Structure formats: C-alpha cells, structure tokens
Chains A and B, each alone.
Chain A
Amino acid sequence: MTEFKITNDQFNIAYYCTRHQCFSGNAQKTALKWISHNGERREYTFEQLDEESNRYANVLQEIGIRKGDIVFTFLPKMPEQFFAFLGILKIQAVAGTLFSNFGEEALTDRLGDCGAKAVITKKSLLKKLLRSLPFLEKLETIFVVDDMENNEKVVGLPALLAKASGTFDILPTAPDTPSVLHYTSGSTGKPKGVQHVHKSLLTQSYTSLHVLNLNEKDLYWCTADQGWVTGTSYGIIGPWSTGVTQLHYGGAYNAEIWMRILEDEKITKWYTAPTALRMLMREDKNLFKKFTLPDLEYIFSVGEPLNPEINTWAQQTLNKEVYDTWFQTETGSIMICNRPGIKIKPGSMGKPIDIISAAIIADNGEHCRTGETGHLCIKVPWDSMLINYLNNTDAYNAKIKNGYYYTGDLAFRDDEGYYHFVGRNDDVINTAGHLISPFEVESTLLEIPEIAESAVIGAPDELLFEKVVAFIRLKNNVTWSDDLELKIRIFLSNRLSSIATPQDIRIIEEIPKNKSGKIMRRVLKAWYKGEDPGDISTIEI
C-alpha cells in the first residue's frame, strides 16, 4: 500500500474518501458493502459514494448551509449516514454525529450547546428530535432521509436528492478547517464538544495503514457506531481515504450473524470492542466450530482495556491474536497500541505510534520513571488532536500543560516501553467503551419527582469493564418499589440512552458530600466494593 499523500494543498477529508479515489483508479472499486439487519444488501463503488455524497452537499448548500455551520447526523448504521457525513464535509460545514440510541435530553444538550443548524435523521428517530426541538432555537432544518412529507422545519430528503446534481466541486480546504465534532462526557458539567480539523486525516490514514495494516485487497469491518469517534475515524475516514473497501452491518450484536459475516464475506481486518469480544466469549463454544475464518488476518479492539483472557480465548477459539489499541475522542486517532510487527504484550496498551510522543508525568510535572504510575500525556501538537472544546476553552486549556495534552488516564510504562492502563484520574465511567458522565446521569435522575438526591459511580464489571451504579435518596414521603425502579430505568433509557441507565440502583439515606457540597464518589465506590473508604473526615452528612 502506498503512503497517503496530500495533493494540491487540498486537505478536505471527504475529497480523499471519494473524488481522490476516483482519480487514483478506484472509481469502480467497491467502497461500501452494507448489510441491513434483515439481510438486505447494498453496494457502492467509490464513484457512487462520490456521487451520493455530492447530492447531499448540493442539497445542504441549496438550503443555505455554509462553511462552518454545524450539521449533525442522527442515524443508525445505514448508507445515508455515510453519504450525509461526507456531503457535510464537502461543503466545509462541520459534521457532527449522534449515537442513534440517544434520548431527548442527550440530544438537547448536544445540539443546543453547539447551535447546530441542521440535523439529518430518519423517520423513526424523528419523534425524539421533535421533543427536543422547542429547546433548540438555532436548529433550522431537520432532514428526514426516508420521508417525503415536508412541514415547518422538517424536510423530506428523497425528493430533494432526486433533483440534486451528482457532481460537486469541493473547494480547496485548509488543514485547520473545522471538520468533525463529537461530544464526550466529563466527570463534571454537560458533555463537551470535541472539535477536530480536516488535517486529522493525516494521522487517521497513517494509523489505518501502519496499525490496522489496511491494504488495497482488504475487506475491512469496523463494528463501531458512527456516533462515536471510532466510527468516524476508522469507520469512514481512515479506510476510505486509503481506498479500502469497508463492510458495515446495520444490525445489532448477534454472535451467529457476526461470525457468518466474518466467514461468508471474507473479512480480512476486523476492528471491534472488548465488550463485544467478551460477549462472544460467553457464547456456546460449539457455535465457533461451525465457522472457519481463513481470510481474517487481524482483529483489533478499542474502547476499554483488553483483558488478557480475551487474547487467550481468541487464540484458542478463533486461532487469532487480538491487538488492543488506545485512543480518545480528543486524540482523534490511535495513539498507543499493540500492532502487527511488535510483540503483543497481553494486558498492556502497547506502544505509542511512531509519529507521536507519549509520556507518563507525575503530579509535580516531572516525568515518571519506568514502572511509576502517573498521568498519561501526549506531546502536542499532532494532526488529529482536538483544536478546542466547543464553547469551553477553559476546559481545553486545563488539559494542555507544558506542551503536553493530559488524557485523564493514569498509566505506567514498563521496561520494554509498553504502556499499561491503571485507571482514570476523574469520575468518568467507561461502560462497554462508552464514556458516561456521572453528572449527566445524576442531573437526569433529579428530574424524577420521587428523587431528592442522586450520586452516580462506575463499578468494575466483568462484561462491561465498568457498570453505572446510582445511589439515590428518595423524598420523605416516597417508598422504594419495583415500580419506581422500572420507572427510573425507562426514564433514563429514553431521556439519555440505555447505556447510561444504571445497572444497579441503591437507596441510601444521605449522599456523602464534602464541606463544599461535592459528592464524594470515592467513598461511594469504596462502600459499593466493600472496601475501606479511607479518610472520611471531610464528609458532611
């Protein structure tokens, strides 16, 4: 595979994913193989991907979307998701993606914060958006990909797309032009908008070639949803900017279907998550005897630490290694990884990629010695790093110190140069690879009339890595019941998302707080795990 190169100072991500591929001899090569949950198949060449995304670009431009405007997709994994994403980038608008499982509160927070001008969705998801609409003053248009009806702000896309031209001239795009926007959860405050720029594709294509080892013969499958950074960096940008054919499956996790896709479609590189692999580990072993995967060269994982047992299982059951990779929404692309060409060290994060510099830094700012735990940091800048948190430069500045980006992870480096994840230095919960803000869950819990106070923590979980656990103080006249528990679960699932819904809800008489009123999650975690909470002298109960 040849190295990725920028031509004519054009940095537009969508250009390299489509038009450039046509110029490079890939016009008739399959770019996307899509299989729906019920087996419907659609395939698009790079030329068709270019034309379809051009139609989206033309429609958006026609309706008044301009460079710098923010347009979100709120779609499941379907071809229109990819056309829309690339179309947005072609007109140099900012492409945001929303996880299709988000509820109305999650939508309102994100779309409201960034002042999105338009959202592209499908009919069945429209209701959630319409419930948020009264709170979204700047949202001018909701495009619906599968509906012909138009009303005040809702516009059916099929008729517009049918009339739109399949050609579009992508204007020269400077490297620092804002491109992709993802929201990520912090331990305090609402989710933060992580803003990337078009030159991110330099690191995304580099890691696609040198970590995922993608080449022109591959059929590559990334199972991540496009609502998250893996889904855009490695489910769109990395593979297509390097001319690689991708398969996307529109259905949910199903062990038999996944194995059949791997075998029948002859997937060569597979990028998935430790939780998915742990779910496969729990399946009946006989399932795997039905399948052989001679075409599958490499499995990669991302999202949570990969426990060594998964590698052992993969070697014994699939006869494959699993390469763990580490990155964040803020880093935009893989930074540290186990990868083909270096020895896998099970349980470790691997080694930094060649084009960045990582460090372990102590609280006092000095670099830690081998084996010492400290803050995992990446030397700035690199091409795929965030340029800011939207509307929250203070939060961005707080993460950049002395030329390093502080990731919020604690880690150590061993004597062979491998990095090892130790934990977070904040209260963000990583459940099944999704970051959950305890603050966001606590705030939503307080909207339930029966709840007086709430505190949310992450607790270790064998399947999910961490599970969401809520501590609740009920109002005086309220009695805990199964009905109330169900009401809470349904409320959270629909207002935020099912992944943010607590796996365990505990009723307590007081939430432990310090003298300034801050919830002492450390104490709750210790209580939950049956451990000594340590110094509790500052608790105000």
Chain B
Amino acid sequence: MDTFEELNAIFCKVFYDDDIKITRESTSDDIDGWDSLSHLNLVVAVEKHFNIKFSDAEIAKWKNVGEMYDSLVLLIQNKNQ
C-alpha cells in the first residue's frame, strides 16, 4: 500500500465510509461529514498513523487533499533522513 492509499484508508476510517476514493483534487465539499470539526479528527488520525506532526501553518494552507498529501510526504521524507 503506498502513502496515498494509506491516506485513503484513513479517510475511510475517519468518515465511516469504505467507498471513499480520494483524489488530489478532493476537498471537504466532496466528502460527506468532512467539516472543520471532523477535520481535526482527520489530522490527528493522519499524524498518529504516520507518526508525524503537521504545523498549524501547514494545516491552514491546505486547499485540497493533494496539498495535504504533499505536506505529509515531505514530513515522512524528513523523518526518514
């Protein structure tokens, strides 16, 4: 399972929906239940799964799943260096 697939699995877990198929362009308007409050659950779930920590500034900048994924990949790379 690659990182994007793992991220997809977290979305499914957080939003109780095994059929979610995220794309880089997906936004909160594409996934039922993804609002500012459940977003916190998502962020924490991603941080715990990958053992990383997003900064508030990073989180505030995300416009879609792709930008979230890019932040995630960067943090994973930094962690592994």
Contact = CB atoms under 8 A, between A and B. Distances in A.
Say if A and B assemble together. yes
Interface of A: 37-38, 76, 100-101, 103, 124-125, 127-128, 250-253, 482-483, 486, 489-490, 493-494, 498-499, 501
Contacts of B14: 490, 493
A489 B32 contact: no
A483 B40 CA distance: 14
A493 B29 contact: no
Contact of B33 (A38, A253, A489, A493): A493
Interface of B: 13-17, 19, 27-29, 32-33, 35-38, 40-41, 44-45, 48
A417 B27 CA distance: 48
Contact of A125 (B32, B36, B41): B32
Nearest to B38: A498
Contacts of A252: 28-29, 35-36
A37 B33 contact: no
B29 A37 contact: yes
Contact of B32 (A100, A251, A253, A499): A100
A498 B29 contact: no
B13 A490 contact: yes
Nearest to A104: B16
A452 to B, nearest CB: 23
A37 B41 contact: no
A267 to B, nearest CB: 20
A57 B20 CA distance: 33
Interface pairs A-B: 5 shortest CB-CB: A37-B29, A498-B37, A494-B16, A498-B38, A489-B41
A38 B14 CA distance: 23
Given A252-B28, A493-B38, A101 B33 contact: yes
A498 B44 contact: no
A494 B48 contact: no
B16 A37 contact: no
Contacts of B27: 37
A101 to B, nearest CB: 6
Given A37-B29, A124-B32, A493 B48 contact: no
A127 B17 contact: yes
B9 to A, nearest CB: 13
A128 B14 CA distance: 14
Contact of B41 (A103, A250, A251, A490): A490
A103 B14 CA distance: 12
A32 B54 CA distance: 41
Contacts of A490: 13-14, 16, 41, 45
Given A127-B17, A489-B41, A490-B13, A498 B33 contact: yes
Given A486-B44, A501-B38, 7 more contacts: A124-B32, A127-B16, A128-B16, A251-B29, A490-B14, A499-B37, A501-B41
